[in-house]
A and B are shown apart, each in its own frame.
Chain A
């Protein structure tokens, strides 16, 4: 039996919304430690990895060692959009041998003694589990900046070019693009905001390098300011995928691996 509850359905909705930008359907892997979701987008350019630990939920119970539920994200998102922000979200699943197996999604709103309830059932599908996992990497470079700032730059760049070039240097990040008609160039420097730390930009670049990324991927990652107003980017070089991560409390969070563009053969 599986049951997990959350006071803020909005956050879960944001997570699912972020995932559905790249993935149509995905296995939800429930263990005693929490919920894990991971999938590659159909182009195999970006990999989305989400952890929502047992303690991240207000209540969490999973009796199975591991439970794999294939979920259509578009449908789940539709359901989650029906939940009022002030409600309590409850996901549940009963294993029985019924032909149709469903994930139940329930929203409860306290009305004094009684509770108003909206309940949905999502039909599960079979999805082949991933046979691969992310290798352990020693990240040599790291950058941390306001998510909103990354979003603003990526959105601006997206007006001009499908491709953005990121040049990571010891004390600056240059983001640029060029098209037939114009070029755009952004310089971002490390900066400590003593009154509001969340505005700070921190860089720890040991091995400067340059990489080109497809703009719309970066733009979609940067939409996650509801998850965390700070984004951490970890990198090694242009050949190794970059990691964009948005952490949440209790060791939870959403992170992406994205492959850069390559130039020579």
Chain B
């Protein structure tokens, strides 16, 4: 999932493109969250002590709803305006990757079964997490829950990350939130990671800035997309023997994938480009993904339907009524009190003063720009 090694490359070459902070510093920000990815993570991580998923009395899984509910309420309490985006049809090119994931799941299912038979609880836990898939029903339940909470969601025509990126690019929201680094390839100017993590984990929210990453890597967006394809994305296999360091070096030397491929074919390199390697298609998917235009997306945050939530969560799924009521109050407050404005648009760019580099007490040792000059 995502782009292999991209995070490492960015933190090495463009450390200032990555910032960590608390959730509350995004107060007043609208964010588009990759719902499909989040639900998947809730199913994996929201579990009981023994590693089994949370369920209601009838034994139906509720991990995804517990996660979605509590994490969303946390965001709203911190002044954020979350918007969820669900996956549409997967692109044809992804079928290979999806096939692989299915095979892995089946393998894990079998392993989990074996572990149960042999009574190895730890192994069972490990494999059971790998069998996770978000079902159609679970997706529908999540949408129903969001509706009752008054939180908007959008169904993307294709990949959710791409739609999140479009919403951020068009200024409809501040950032796209996903754990998937390919959201950057889809052109999200700002990517938030770890936004939907549990509070107890105490993992700070990571903010990634595309423009700073491009500057640090010293490349334009087209080259960046090519880099991501070379690193390994969801749509294509990687070329054997090419890791992050080589990928970056090759692209810097040969400008684009065409150049890299030609170089690999002509040189005595051991890395062979797979025969069926439709990089143009992958490139096209990243550059012109099928999305709904940001300007055409109707988004509004509404008051929660408290009775509906009680019926849906308490009566049907055994949530604590007190918890649901107090959470609903927080959601209502988030809507009625408006949202905190920010100073971001207020300032104007300082005119660049010529040649008067200021003396500094401490030079920026981690400064990427400086590193390159060396």
Q: Which residues of A are at the interface with B, using a C-beta cutoff of 8 A?
A: 29, 40, 42-47, 64-70, 93, 95, 101, 103, 124-126, 128-135, 162-163, 180, 212, 214, 239-241, 257-263, 265
Most chain B Cβ neighbours within 10 Å, of A47, A67, A162, A259: A259
B350 at the interface (CB under 8 A from A): yes
Q: Given the complex of chains A and B, what is the CA–CA distance between A258 and B342 in angstroms? A: 8
CA distance A239 to B347 in the complex (A): 14
B343 neighbours in A (Cβ, 8 Å): 40, 44-47, 241, 257-259
Bound Cα distance A67, B367 (Å): 19
- A70's nearest neighbour on chain B, judged by CB, is B362
- Secondary structure of the B contact surface, majority rule: loop
- CB pair B360–A126 under 8 Å, yes or no, is yes
Tell me whether B347 and A134 are in contact (CB under 8 A): yes
What are the interface flags for B352-374 relative to A under an 8 Å C-beta threshold, 1 for contact and 0 otherwise?
00001011111111110000000
A134 to B367, CA, bound (A): 26
CA distance A42 to B340 in the complex (A): 14
Using a CB–CB distance below 8 Å, which chain B residues touch chain A?
A: 16, 21-22, 24-28, 299-300, 329, 337-344, 346-350, 356, 358-367
Set B25, B347, B356: member contacting A66, Cβ < 8 A: B356
Let me know if B341 and A262 touch, CB within 8 A: yes
Question: In the complex, what distance in Å separates the CA atom of A241 from the CA atom of B347?
Answer: 10
| 23 pairs, CB–CB < 8 Å, chain A vs chain B | A42-B21, A43-B25, A43-B26, A43-B340, A43-B342, A44-B342, A44-B344, A45-B341, A46-B343, A47-B343, A66-B359, A67-B358, A68-B361, A69-B362, A95-B359, A101-B361, A101-B362, A126-B365, A135-B348, A259-B343, A261-B337, A261-B339, A265-B299
- List the B side residues contacting A135 at CB < 8 Å: 346-348
Cβ B337 vs Cβ A68 within 8 A: no
The number of residue pairs between A and B whose CB atoms lie closer than 8 Å in the complex comes to 117
Contacts of A64 in B (CB 8 A): 359
- Residues on B with beta carbons closer than 8 Å to the beta carbon of A133: 347-350
Q: Is the CB of A126 within 8 A of B364?
A: yes
B21 touches A126 (CB 8 A): no
Asked if B359 and A67 make an inter-chain contact with CB atoms under 8 angstroms apart, the answer reads yes
Highest count of chain A CB atoms <10 Å: which of B299, B339, B341, B363: B341
Chain B residues with Cβ below 8 Å from A265 are 299-300
CB distance from B11 to the nearest CB of A (A): 16
Inter-chain contact A67/B338, CB cutoff 8 Å: no
Bound complex: CA of A65 vs CA of B364, how far in Å? 19
Among A103, A125, A265, max chain B CB count under 10 A is at: A265
- Determine if B361 and A132 form an interchain contact, defined as CB atoms under 8 angstroms apart: no
A132 to B346, CA, bound (A): 9
Q: B362 touches which one: A124, A240, A241, A263 (CB < 8 A)?
A: A124
Chain B residues whose CB sits within 8 angstroms of the CB of A44 once the complex forms: 25, 342-344
Known: A44-B25, A132-B349, A135-B346. A126 touches B363 (CB 8 A): yes
Q: Once the chains bind, are B344 and A124 in contact (CB under 8 Å)?
A: no
Q: How far is the CB of A245 from chain B (nearest CB, A)?
A: 16
Nearest chain A CB to B195 CB, angstrom units: 15
With a CB–CB cut-off of 8 A, which chain B residues contact A47?
343, 346-347
Q: CB distance B346 to A103 under 8 Å?
A: no
Q: Is the CB of A260 within 8 A of B366?
A: no
Chain A residues, CB < 8 A from B359: 64-68, 95
Q: In the complex the two chains form, is A124's CB within 8 Å of B361's CB?
A: yes
Q: Which residues from chain B contact A65 at a C-beta distance below 8 Å?
A: 356, 358-359
Chain B nearest Cβ from A140, distance in angstroms: 17
Contact residues in A for B299 (Cβ distance below 8 Å): 265
Q: B361–A69 contact, CB under 8 A?
A: yes
Across the interface, do B361 and A131 meet the contact criterion of CB distance under 8 Å?
Answer: no
Q: How far is the CB of A131 from chain B (nearest CB, A)?
A: 6
Least CB distance from B176 to A in Å reads 18
Q: Which chain A residues border B338 with CB–CB below 8 Å? A: 212, 261-263
In the bound complex, how far is the Cα of B358 from the Cα of A239, in angstroms?
34
A residues in contact with B344, CB < 8 Å = 44
How far, in whole Å, are A154 and B348 apart by their CA atoms in the complex?
A: 31
CA distance A163 to B28 in the complex (A): 14
The answer to whether B362 and A125 touch across the interface, beta carbons within 8 angstroms, is yes
CB distance from A215 to the nearest CB of B (A): 12
CB distance from A98 to the nearest CB of B (A): 11
CB distance from A69 to the nearest CB of B (A): 4
Known: A132-B347, A135-B347. A70 touches B361 (CB 8 A): yes
Cross-chain contact A259 with B340 (CB below 8 angstroms): yes
Q: How far is the CA of A157 from the CA of B20 in the complex (A)?
A: 33
Please indicate the chain B residues that have their CB under 8 angstroms from the CB of A163 in the complex: 337
The reply to whether B346 and A241 form a contact with Cβ atoms under 8 Å apart is yes
Q: What is the CB-to-nearest-CB distance from A136 to chain B, in angstroms, rounded to a whole number? A: 9
Most chain A CB neighbours (cut-off 10 Å) among B22, B27, B348, B358: B358
